[in-house]
């Protein structure tokens, strides 16, 4: 056995260790990416499920809102309305659409248009039915009356 043989064996073992370390790092990176992808997919499925359930319940929310607006507010009705709003909030559902909001066709549905010489741009002048969103998902556009300047060129 020559003196160079132990060094070449040592070099071979170091290369093997380096290769196995690189393999292990690749596998770890792949597993980390897999975990992140699964977490993202689970969140997306949850958000879609919440959106579907809330969309189905929006007519109930509208009915409760109408009852609160037009009926005497009894303690039972108040409890139902408060509980419904609290649970929707816990799911991340928010309502939108206020008079004075700038009109955005991506989230507002204009049912009427009024002309005002004083208006600079399209503004929601009345909200006929609020819109709802959860996270970045639009569940339902707000139905609004819009007031804006007279059209130019007519």
Of the pLDDT bands very low, low, confident and very high (cuts 50, 70, 90), residue 154 is very low
User: Topology of 1-91 in CATH?
Assistant: Hemagglutinin Ectodomain; Chain B (3.90.20)
Average pLDDT over residues 34-43: 95
- Cα–Cα distance measured from residue 107 to residue 133, given in angstroms and rounded to the nearest whole number: 9
Q: What is the spatial distance between Cα 46 and Cα 26, in angstroms, rounded to a whole number?
A: 30
Give the count of beta carbons closer than 10 Å to the beta carbon of residue 103: 19
- Please give the model's pTM, rounded to 2 decimal places: 0.72
Question: How sure is the predictor about 152, in pLDDT bands with cuts at 50, 70 and 90?
Answer: low
Distance of CA 12 to the CA centre of its chain: 55
Write the pLDDT tens digit of every residue in 9-24: 899 999 999 999 999 9
**Going by CATH, does the domain composed of 93-154 fall within 3.40.1030.10?**
no
Confidence label for 3 from pLDDT (cuts 50, 70 and 90) = low
Percent of the chain with pLDDT over 90: 74
CA distances from 149 to 66, 112, 115, 116 (A): 32, 14, 6, 5
pLDDT at residue number 153 = 44
With beta carbons less than 8 A apart as the criterion, state whether 103 and 124 touch.
yes
Mean pLDDT of 58-81: 92
pLDDT at 43 over 70: yes
Domain coordinates in residue numbering, the chain: 1-91, 93-154
3 state SS of 16: helix
The CA-to-CA distance between both ends of the chain, in Å, stands at 102
Looking at residue 107, its pLDDT comes to 95
Contact 107, 138 (CB under 8 A): yes
Mean pLDDT of the chain: 90
Average pLDDT rounded to a whole number, residues 105-128: 92
Q: Hey, which residues does 124 pair with through a beta bridge?
A: 146
Domain 1-91 and domain 93-154, same fold? Reply is no
Mean pLDDT value across residues 104-112: 95
**What percentage of the chain reaches a pLDDT higher than 70?**
95
């Amino acid at each position: 056995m020559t003196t160079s043989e132990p060094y070449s064996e040592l070099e071979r073992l170091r290369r093997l260790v380096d290769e196995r370390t690189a393999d292990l790092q690749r596998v770890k990176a792949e597993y980390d990416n897999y975990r992140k992808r699964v977490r993202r997919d689970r969140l997306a499925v949850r958000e879609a499920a919440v959106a579907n359930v809330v969309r189905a319940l929006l007519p109930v929310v509208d009915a409760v809102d109408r009852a609160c607006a037009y009926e005497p507010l009894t303690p039972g009705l108040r409890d139902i309305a408060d509980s419904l709003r609290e649970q929707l909030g816990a799911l991340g559902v928010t309502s939108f659409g206020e008079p004075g909001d700038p009109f955005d066709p991506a989230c507002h549905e204009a049912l009427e248009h009024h002309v005002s010489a004083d208006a600079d741009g399209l503004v929601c002048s009345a909200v006929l039915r609020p819109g709802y969103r959860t996270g970045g998902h639009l569940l339902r556009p707000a139905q609004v009356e819009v007031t804006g300047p007279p059209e130019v060129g007519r």
